[in-house]
Amino acid sequence: MNWDNTSYSLASTQKRKQHVLICHIHRFHTIASYRSFLLMSQFPIIETQRTVLTILHPEQAHLLLAYHLENKDHLAPWEPARDSSFYTAVSCRLRCESAYQAYLDGNAANFIALERESNKMIAGCNFTNIVRGPLQGCYLGYSVHQEFEGKGLMHEVAAAAIQYVFDELGLHRIMANHLPSNLRSQKLLGKLGFEREGYAKAYLKIAGKWEDMVLNSLINSKT
């Protein structure tokens, strides 16, 4: 895939970041206080046709909670089993704090995609377990709101986030795995340019059961 042709706008400089924050301040007034805008101005802000992507921040815990509650049944077949504590404000706040610190430490980049019109979280795109040194790689995980499944939104969000990870973070390799039965993920990863590299038996415990995984990767041609 030619990443140079990906349709997105990246606030790559501080001036551009502040400009985007000002332009969207009325859209974001229900998301966080002005103080939170100043804290978040150091983070990447990526614009796509339908969304604004930013790094998950503790002040956005209520958005994450709403997303999980609205998509509880939708995401359950593809994720580890969750108990009731997962769907609480306290739990979401703790996960947001952990994600925020992981970004500051250079260990992860957990993006949330906010719908331009409603400011609600409609997708997540997480780059975790970032390893530098000779590997320069990470793992990709993602999910999309049930109302937007099958509408190309996940591709839109993931393509923009991947370009940021390659161009701005300078990573060389992104790994992404999916259940053999998850044909939507298989198709999405194929469109994003990922190639199948292997098949792992009983790799992850999903929905309470050890599941096989199809292993895929995407290489940064510029590194």
| CATH label of the domain that carries residue 25 | 3.40.630.30
Task: Report the side by side order of strands in the sheet with 51-55.
Answer: 9-10, 45-47, 51-55, 109-115, 121-131, 137-144, 173-178, 209-219, 195-206
Residue of 45, 55, 56 whose CA lies nearest to 23: 45
Verdict on whether the full-model pTM lies above 0.85: no
In a domain, residue 7? The reply is yes
pLDDT in tens, the chain (223 residues): 433 333 344 444 344 444 444 344 344 444 444 445 545 556 889 999 999 999 988 989 999 999 999 999 999 999 999 999 999 999 999 999 999 999 999 999 999 999 998 999 999 999 999 999 999 999 999 999 999 999 999 999 999 999 999 999 999 999 999 999 999 999 999 999 999 999 999 999 999 999 999 999 999 999 8
In a domain, residue 216? The reply is no
- Centre a 10 Å sphere on the Cβ of residue 7 and count the other Cβ atoms it contains: 10
Count of H-run helices and E-run strands, the chain: 7, 9
Full residue range of the structural domain in which residue 16 is found: 3-170
Q: Domain count of the chain?
A: 1
In a domain, residue 163? The reply is yes
